[in-house]
Every structure is written in C-alpha cells, then in structure tokens.
Amino acid sequence: MTATGQEGHGRGPRGGTAPLRVDGERLLGRLAELAGVGATPDGGCARLALSDADRAGRDLVVGWMTALGLEVRVDEIGNVVASTPGVGAPVMMGSHIDTVTTGGRFDGNLGVLGGLEVIETLQDSGVTPPRPLAVAFFTDEEGSRFSPDMLGSLAYVGGIGVAEALAITDVGGASVGGELRRIGYAGPHPCPGPVPHAYVELHIEQGPVLEAEGVEIGVVEGVQGISWQEVRVEGQANHAGTTPMGMRHDAGYAAGAIATFVRRLALELGSPQVGTVGSLALEPGLVNVVARSARLTVDLRNTDELRLAEAERRLAAFLEQLARDEGVGVATRRLARFAPVAFDPGVIDLVERIARAQGRSTMRLPAGAGHDAQMLARVCPAGMIFVPSAGGISHSPLERTEPDALVAGANVLLEVVLALAAGELAAGAGGAGPAAGAAAGA
C-alpha cells in the first residue's frame, strides 16, 4: 500500500496490522439518511440549492460533523468546511449536497459522506495523519437554481467575488445572499477560503463508461469544458388559425429550431462534443396562439477548448441567421463558462496506484459533469475518484451505484488521503496541473 505503513494501518481489533478500511455499513447508512431529506416519491432526491430541503440536508451533515468533534466553519457563500485539529494546510475531501430537482441519492453526497467516513475511520483506529484533514460541502454545485454551477467552490478559490456571487438571482428573483440568510448559512468566514494542501473528491461517474468497460474505479484525468447560455427569443403572438405560415414571427418555432441545431452541431463536431437544450418555456404557452417569446438554455461541453469555442461560434452564427429568417429578436446571456481542467498528475498517479494496490481494476477517463474539484484545482493539487453508475444514469431518481462500489471508492479515498497527508506529492509531480491555471472564470 502507498500510505506510509504506520499511518495506513489501523490497530485492528486484535492489535494486528490489517490495512485500514472504512465502515461500509456506516457510510451506506448515512447516504440513506441524507437521501431521506428531500426524498421524492420516485426514489430520488430534490434538494435544490438554498431551499428548505437543502437547509435540512445541511443541518443533518453539520450535525454529523459536529458529533465527530470537527471544527465546522461556514463561509460567506455558505460553503461548510469541517476540519480535524492539527498544524498546516489540510488535505481536503468533499463535494456538494445540493441536487437537481430530479436528483438521485449519490451525486455529490458520496464525496461528502465518504470524506466524513474517512475521518471517522481514522478516529476509530487511533490514526492521526501528519497533517489535518478536512471535509467540505460547497454551495450550489448543481447550478440549476443559481448559475453558474460550482458557485460555492468557485468563490472559495476566488474565481468570483463574494458580492457578485451573493447578488445572483434565481428565475423567481430570490438572491443567493438572501436565501443564505433565510436558511441560516450566511457564515462569517471569508471567501476565498484557506488553500488546502490537496483536494480529493470521490464521486459517482454519472456516465456509462466504467460499467460498460467492467472497471471498478475511474481515475479522473480532468473535467471537460462547460458553456451554458440562456437564449431569449422575442416573436409576435398571433392567432394560430388565421396567421399564414409566411407571416409568422414564431418564437416557438425558433426555439425548436435551436434545439434541433444544437443536436446537429454536436453530431457534426463529433464526440466528445455534447449539446443539450434542457430547459424551454414558451409564452403565452397556449394551444391556439403563435408563441410570443421563448426562453431556453443551451449546455455545450467538450474536453477540447478550441472545439468548444468553435461550437459556441457556430451556435452564435445560427442564432443570427435564425433571427433574420424568422423576423424575431434573439438575445443570449452567459450562465457559465469554464475551460477544460487537467488534474494534478501526482494525484492522478496516486489514485491509480492505490486503487490497483487494493485489487481494483482502473481506467483513466475525463469527467463529463462539472465538479467542485475543477475549481479547487486552481489553487492546489486536486483529483477525483469515480465509481460506476448503473446504466450511466444520473440527475435522475434512477441514479444507482452498487453498495460495494460505493464502499470501494471510499477505501481508495481513505488511502489516497493518507498518502497525501504523509507528503506523497512532495516527492512526485505535486503542484497544480498545467491546465489548472487555464481554467476560465465564470
């Protein structure tokens, strides 16, 4: 095993030197309990950022953190960081506990509760790593209520000013700052927050690759670039029966054309380009009225920054042409823009080495979803550990990962964290990866 022998082995029930392993039942129990907060009848979870359900989930996790005797700090943007005592910058674990409204039980939660489990396992076995450990959950990772996504971790690393972040509003006009105060999570600690020694995030893959390849642990090399835009189309409402087809300024048609174009664009650019119109609303939204206006979102992602920028350019050209052809107004607003991020080569190697030493099959892959780790990678060596998602399904109540796989991921996290705390990176590559600094602002 890679962690130094003394730190990496527990006393064991009979004083032996069996490798340390997390308490799987305890981890699964906490995952189930947290999934009960904001549970939906279809087996999923809805804890939209800074909602009442998010507050209840936060309270539950903070209670667990406090019960472990950790120092719990809430910062100005509502990020919660719980640390063990000790000197020096901590090795930080974490993720998020907010969900999309059709969320599952594991996205984000696994990284937070896996981190908590690592800390409790070490406490139980009397192992004190050479530097402190921390587990964090970051505010509004999902970005489905307040854009951009990864808002809390972006603010934590200074990628967005606190005042700007607090002023962001949801579609109903509620602000991040107001909602933080309402749910009691406008904390006193300043953002940007203290820079960790390193950051490791355990997460479900949320895609089909690991399962399809029959691989147990994904060694995440980086995160693809993300471009989110809101598109507003202004047409003219008119009678659906009397208005000749050539005399329409139809926002509904324009919205449909944009969705079709986004699909075609992704297919033309080829994998790994993806494109999604995930939200679309028409006004007035009546069966017999040509739509006056449309509001839709476009999500474009690619691991290659140049290809992603090309996709954006082609979309912009299409929107201009569409506005002319249909005689409608088209305006766009940027919701999020993050360049692809490469994780630290030393952390990547460590995850791979430890997973293999634990007898796990591994493969390297990029992350398709956005993650808090991509923000932490701007300030410290960062990496991620993936476990398979059944059927590649996520952001859905059907999201599922086998219990053994969840526990296997936490055991890899445990030893990676111990190795990092023992100074493993100092001898290796260390430092933020070359692309980390290339990550664009929101």
Q: Which does 44 bind (CB under 5 to 8 A by kind): ligand GLV, Mn ion, none?
A: none
DSSP H or E stretch at residue 123: helix 109-125
If the CB atoms of residues 370 and 381 are measured against ligand GLV, the closer one turns out to be 370
Give min distance, CB of 354 to ligand GLV, in A. 25
CB-wise, 145 or 249, nearer to Mn ion?
145
Closest CA to 360 of 291, 410, 430, 423: 410
Residue 148's CB: how many other CB atoms inside 10 A?
22
Which residues are CB-contacts of 126 (< 8 A; sequence separation ≥ 6)? 10, 11
What residue ranges in 113-195 does DSSP mark as E strands?
Answer: 133-137
Q: Is 259 or 289 the residue whose CB approaches ligand GLV more closely?
A: 259
Tokens 């009225």 correspond to 289
Which of ligand GLV, Mn ion, none interacts with 108 (beta carbon under 5 to 8 A by kind)? Mn ion
- The answer to whether 201 contacts Mn ion (rule: CB under 5 A) is no
Which uninterrupted H or E stretch holds 93? strand 91-95
Minimum CB distance to ligand GLV smaller for 120 or for 142: 142
Closest approach of Cβ 32 to ligand GLV, in Å?
22
Q: Residue 389 CB, nearest distance to ligand GLV (Å)? A: 13
Give min distance, CB of 369 to ligand GLV, in A.
3
Q: How far apart are alpha carbons 404 and 390 in whole angstroms?
A: 13
DSSP-derived pairing of the beta strands 217-223 and 71-74: unpaired
Among ligand GLV, Mn ion, none, the one that 120 touches (CB under a kind-dependent 5 to 8 A) is none
Q: How many CB atoms lie within 10 A of CB 5?
A: 10
Stretch 99-128 residues interacting with Mn ion (CB under 5 A): 107-108
What is 247-261 written as a DSSP string? G---HHHHHHHHHHH
In the complex, least distance from residue 333 CB atom to ligand GLV, rounded to whole angstroms:
17
Q: What is the DSSP string of 263-327?
A: HHHHHHH-TT-EEE---EEEES--TTEE-SEEEEEEEEEESSHHHHHHHHHHHHHHHHHHHHHHT
Closest approach of Cβ 108 to ligand GLV, in Å?
A: 8
In the list Mn ion, ligand GLV, none, the entry touching 149 (Cβ below 5 to 8 angstroms by class) is ligand GLV
Pick from Mn ion, ligand GLV, none: which does 370 bind, CB < 5 to 8 A by kind?
ligand GLV
Q: Which is nearer to Mn ion, 93 or 257 (CB)?
A: 93
Cβ proximity to Mn ion: between 373 and 416 the closer is 373
Q: Which residues bind ligand GLV (CB under 6 A)?
A: 141-143, 149, 369-370
| Shortest distance in whole angstroms from residue 442 CB to ligand GLV | 13
Using CA atoms in the order 146, 149, 155, 160, what is the torsion angle rounded to 10 degrees? -80
Q: Which does 221 bind (CB under 5 to 8 A by kind): ligand GLV, Mn ion, none?
A: none
With CA atoms as reference, report the closest residue to 361 among 206, 204, 211, 205.
211
> Shortest Cβ distance from residue 219 to Mn ion (Å)?
18
Choose among ligand GLV, Mn ion, none what residue 193 binds, the Cβ cut-off being 5 to 8 Å by kind. none
Task: Give whichever of 108 and 397 is closer to Mn ion, judged by the CB atom.
Answer: 108
Q: Write the CA distances from 47 to 51, 409, 437, integer angstroms.
A: 7, 24, 32
Tokens of 318: 């299409």
Non-local (6+) Cβ contacts of 23 within 8 A are 117, 120, 121, 124
| Number of chain residues interacting with Mn ion (CB under 5 A) | 2
For residues 256 and 305, the answer to whether their CB atoms sit within 8 Å is: no
With tokens 């936490």, the residue in question is: 410
- The listed partner (ligand GLV, Mn ion, none) that binds 211, CB under 5 to 8 Å by sort, is none
- Whether residue 247 contacts residue 294, with contact meaning beta carbons closer than 8 Å, is answered with no
Between residues 7 and 141, which has the closer beta carbon with respect to ligand GLV?
A: 141
Q: Which is nearer to ligand GLV, 49 or 70 (CB)?
A: 49
Instruction: Name the DSSP letter for residue 199.
Output: E
Which residue lies nearer to Mn ion by CB, 107 or 140? Answer: 107
Residue 335 touches which of ligand GLV, Mn ion, none (Cβ within 5-8 Å per kind):
none
* 261 within 8 A of 315, measured Cβ to Cβ: yes
CB of 97 to ligand GLV, least distance (A): 13
Q: Which residues bind Mn ion (CB under 5 A)?
A: 107-108
